[in-house]
Amino acid sequence: SNGTAPAEVSNVAAQLSASAAEPGKTDWTQETLSVVVVGASGDLARKKIYPALFALYVEDMLPENFSVYGYARSKMSDEEFRDYIGGSLTCRVTDEDSCGDKYDTFLERCYYQPGQYSDESDFKALSERMTGTEKDRKKANRIFYLSIPPSIFTAVAGCASKAASSPSGWTRVIVEKPFGKDSESFAQLERELSNFLTEDQMYRIDHYLGKELIENLTVLRFANLVFEPLWSRNYIRNVQVIFSEDFGTEGRGGYFDQYGIIRDVIQNHLLQIVSLFAMEAPVSLDAEHIRNEKVKVLHCMKQLTLDDVVVGQYRGRQGKGHSYPGYLDDDTVPPGSLCPTFAAVALFINNARWDGVPFLLKAGKALANRRTEIRVQFRNVPGNLFSDRLSLNGMDLDRSTNELVMRIQPNEAIYLKINNKIPGLGMKLDTTKLDLTYKQRYNVHLPDAYERLILDVVNGDKRLFIRNDELDAAWALFTPILKEIESKKVQPELYPYGSRGPVGSHYLASKYGVRWG
């Protein structure tokens, strides 16, 4: 390598080279990046990984010298791979912008290497090919994105670390969920992976942490004076985290039936939201400091009991001119499966801040709409001077309490429900919203979660990745209840496709004086 900097460096390379003297920082003027997508022929790769890499490339966020290597068993030439990727790329950065040349120059950086997942010599061949694009620089850095079924995580981690890790720079590995199915299988997976990878190299993805509003949660809490003083049992009556999808498990029944909604969504995505919501202020924004606080609050969660859990499963429904299949109608689902496609859980945090406050989590497939929200219901105003007025106007006191809603998707928004005087003579009250709808306030396309997360791996930032002790704590919370549901063969309550879910979830909420928002 001649070690000279190229005439043109990308934004990120320029920013990073400024801090290249700092130990541990990558000097992108001198180093290369190769992203290996293992499972390159798969669904996640095509749906999320290539579009995210492309968007980062279009926005000049990737180092000057970067390449993408697809790896899977399917036979494809580089050209066929480029056609395959090309089909999934859109220019999402702005409506007007045409990505023009960038489309072609991106694809020119993509290569494909077929191989088996447990064959070291195939990984060696991949590594040798990679040196082709790495040879001009001092150091070669490599990211392996394991976009494959969990049954082959360990085999791939082993082969990649022995035969294809970078000889000169860093090697990082992105692992996708599921991280096991319970405490034992998670511990086993960790033991196996740790034979080949250090904790430092491992980036465990929970893509919910890459969503714009989830990242904003810490900003909202800790960069504003007005929320944090209210953020406790003194003022908050209950917190709801609601995940609802308006489609079923069509096409994914085989995977889903092994896991069910509690493992698929609640134990990871929703619990991550609760831990960021409820944690104490971290010492700093450093990844370890944030993750320390998340683990602490996870350890404060009270063990779940069956009477605080409701499970449901969707059944088919005949709509106007269309029939919606039930979960059991999917050929890949075993007949008579009791797998829950809906669950609601009441969770309590035994610490000084949250003692007694119900955190109600609800997740379901094939419901009436698609939305993910955090809803914070505040307590009643003590000695409310307007209580007569509110009831006179037909408003129920409970419904007129303040509520803060963070709508994670779709149509991202944060709004606060307040009571307000209707303008005019007389004194009539109304409940209305202080409304921050992102589309109206910010004229930008929000990055997809995968863009943010892949960029963080490139920059070695672990704030939005899950540490192993977080997963330990998350599984410790859910494993006993999952085992109990399975061993007692708890019958899920059936709900029609496209409905609001089983009524049991309303009974659970009302047990704690809560009405779902």
Cβ distance 436 to 404 under 8 Å? no
Query: Distances in Å between the alpha carbon of 255 and those of 150, 181, 272, 410, 487?
Result: 11, 12, 22, 25, 20
Beta carbon of residue 39, minimum distance to ligand BG6 (angstroms, whole number): 15
88 scored as a contact of ligand NDP (CB under 6 A): no
Task: Specify burial of residue 4 (Cβ count, 10 A radius: 0-12, 13-18, 19+).
Answer: exposed
SS3 label, residue 463: coil
Query: Which residue sits closest to ligand BG6, CB atoms considered?
Result: 264
Beta carbon of residue 396, minimum distance to ligand BG6 (angstroms, whole number): 32
Determine which residue in the list 12, 26, 37, 39 makes contact with ligand NDP, applying CB under 6 A.
Answer: 39
Cβ distance 280 to 251 under 8 Å? no
Query: Distances in Å between the alpha carbon of 473 and those of 195, 279, 358, 469?
Result: 22, 14, 19, 6
Binding mask 109-148 for ligand NDP (x = CB under 6 A): --------x-----------------------------xx
Residue 373 in tokens: 């929200």
Determine which residue in the list 58, 62, 68, 72 makes contact with ligand NDP, applying CB under 6 A.
Answer: 72
d(CA 452, CA 207): 9
Task: Report the partner that residue 361 touches, choosing among ligand NDP, ligand BG6, none (CB closer than 5 to 8 A by kind).
Answer: none
Give the closest residue to 220 by CA, choosing from 418, 432, 406, 349: 406
d(CA 282, CA 429): 40
Beta carbon of residue 466, minimum distance to ligand BG6 (angstroms, whole number): 13
Q: Using the structure block, give the residue that is written with the tokens 């708890």.
A: 490
Cβ distance 297 to 349 under 8 Å? yes
Task: Specify burial of residue 152 (Cβ count, 10 A radius: 0-12, 13-18, 19+).
Answer: middle
Residues near ligand BG6, by CB under 6 A: 207, 245, 264-265
74 scored as a contact of ligand NDP (CB under 6 A): yes
Q: Assign 3-state DSSP to the chain and report helix, strand, coil percentages, each to 5.
A: 40, 20, 40
d(CA 516, CA 185): 34
Beta carbon of residue 496, minimum distance to ligand NDP (angstroms, whole number): 25
SS3 label, residue 125: helix
Beta carbon of residue 207, minimum distance to ligand NDP (angstroms, whole number): 7
Largest CA distance in the chain: 83
Task: Report the partner that residue 412 touches, choosing among ligand BG6, ligand NDP, none (CB closer than 5 to 8 A by kind).
Answer: none
Strands of the sheet containing 66-72, edge to edge, are 110-114, 66-72, 31-38, 139-146, 171-175, 202-204
Give the closest residue to 187 by CA, choosing from 486, 476, 487, 484: 476
Determine which residue in the list 82, 109, 177, 204 makes contact with ligand NDP, applying CB under 6 A.
Answer: 177
Closer to ligand BG6 by CB, 179 or 348: give it: 179
Beta carbon of residue 413, minimum distance to ligand BG6 (angstroms, whole number): 16
44 scored as a contact of ligand NDP (CB under 6 A): yes
Closer to ligand NDP by CB, 178 or 501: give it: 178
Query: Distances in Å between the alpha carbon of 178 and those of 52, 148, 220, 327?
Result: 21, 11, 30, 21
Beta carbon of residue 24, minimum distance to ligand BG6 (angstroms, whole number): 31
Using CB under 6 A, which of the segments 72-80, 208-216, 335-343, 421-429 binds ligand NDP?
Answer: 72-80
Active-site option among 269, 289, 299, 322: 269
Using CB under 6 A, which of the segments 67-75, 98-106, 134-142, 165-173 binds ligand NDP?
Answer: 67-75
409 scored as a contact of ligand NDP (CB under 6 A): no
- Consecutive H or E run containing 222: helix 212-222
Beta carbon of residue 149, minimum distance to ligand NDP (angstroms, whole number): 5
43 scored as a contact of ligand NDP (CB under 6 A): yes
Using CB under 6 A, which of the segments 70-78, 92-100, 280-288, 486-494 binds ligand NDP?
Answer: 70-78
- Consecutive H or E run containing 473: helix 468-487
Beta carbon of residue 483, minimum distance to ligand NDP (angstroms, whole number): 22
Using CB under 6 A, which of the segments 42-50, 119-127, 189-197, 360-368 binds ligand NDP?
Answer: 42-50
Task: Report the partner that residue 264 touches, choosing among ligand BG6, ligand NDP, none (CB closer than 5 to 8 A by kind).
Answer: ligand BG6
Determine which residue in the list 29, 34, 41, 499 makes contact with ligand NDP, applying CB under 6 A.
Answer: 41
Whether 506 is catalytic: no
Closer to ligand NDP by CB, 147 or 400: give it: 147
254 scored as a contact of ligand NDP (CB under 6 A): no
Task: Report the partner that residue 147 touches, choosing among ligand BG6, ligand NDP, none (CB closer than 5 to 8 A by kind).
Answer: ligand NDP
d(CA 408, CA 274): 13
Determine which residue in the list 100, 149, 334, 356 makes contact with ligand NDP, applying CB under 6 A.
Answer: 149
Task: Report the partner that residue 31 touches, choosing among ligand BG6, ligand NDP, none (CB closer than 5 to 8 A by kind).
Answer: none
Q: How many residues bind ligand NDP (CB under 6 A)?
A: 19
Torsion sign, CA atoms 272, 345, 371, 443: negative
Closer to ligand NDP by CB, 140 or 466: give it: 466
Question: So which residues are the catalytic ones?
Answer: 269
Positions touching ligand NDP (CB under 6 A) are: 39, 41-45, 47, 72-74, 117, 147-150, 152, 176-178
